[in-house]
Amino acid sequence: MKRMNAEEAKKTLRGSIAPIITPFHEDESLDLDTLKSLIDWHIQSGSHGISVTGTTGEPSSLTLKEREQVMEIAIKAVNKRVPIVPGTGSTNHQESLHLTKLAQEMGADAAMVIVPYYNKPSQHALYKHFKTIADSVDIPLIIYNIPGRTAVNLEVKTLARLNEDCPNIIGVKESNKDFEHINRVLLHCGRDFLLYSGIELLCYPMLAIGGAGYISATANVLPSKVAEVYNAWEAGNVEEAMKLHYDLMPLNDVLFKDTNPAPLKAALGMMGKINPTLRMPMDLPSESLQKEIRSVLADYGLVEKIGSEA
């Protein structure tokens, strides 16, 4: 199987890479048939790539074996129709190493490795962690910086050092609201470094500074419109891209009024796409928020308006 190299990845891994939820049956077991259906729906809807087992996929609620199963099923379901970038990082270095090597063996196009959460490594320790993983594989790597979840920020100087020392570290998903930090990523890592937004309201602005696209949870609910923002921008239709950006804001806002992916799963349940089950300690949003989610979905024509049922 021919593997995508770093230069090919830099040309291909662009646009809306949808970070798909992990569906469960009511008894909280994996619903892999629904996962396959969701992947087909995303590809048909125009998502430019697929990611699984990132934050939206509840990886910390999955066993190691389950993460392996989800990656394997997803890679097979995508079947090279679009690039697939599974999340392979965790708070455990050896587990991150194992999953990243496995993603390569399974035929993933790249892997996304999160800054380890909870243990708050120093910048030196983060460099060592990511370099060790990068040196162990040939697969292109995207680092995932999400300080709101990990309690530590991967500093630009650390990322630039990794970019310089590890040819297969080709990009970063920045779920960082500090837009000054994000600008400095491309300044210090180079304009060909792949910069993705993980903050919904920064997806469009990040394209304007040279970003490669975004990995937006909202794509789970409205994949076509989320992908169209990038398509419009890439076609040079700035006004249309900006219009779509503002059109999506009410949906973006309501989907983050509780911790991701709880509102997403509630929404997808209302749309008939999944059984809306999360594993504890996560749970569905309050009844009042679910009512608000349904109202917003109705505004987008994704469910019937409350009271309009026959």
- Dihedral sign (CA 164, 130, 153, 233): positive
144 is catalytic: yes
**All residues at 6 or more sequence positions from 165 whose CB lies less than 8 Å from its CB, including other chains:** 131
Contact assessment for residue 134 and residue 100, using Cβ atoms and an 8 Å cutoff: no
Q: Where are the beta strands (DSSP E) in the chain?
A: 15-19, 49-51, 111-114, 141-145, 169-174, 194-197, 213-214
Strand order in the sheet with 15-19: 49-51, 15-19, 213-214, 194-197, 169-174, 141-145, 111-114
Catalytic residue, candidates 127, 173, 225, 230: 173
Alpha carbon distance 100, 116 (integer Å)? 14
Catalytic residue, candidates 127, 144, 196, 230: 144
Angle at 151 between CA 145 and CA 152, to 5 degrees: 55
Any idea which residues carry the catalytic annotation?
A: 144, 173
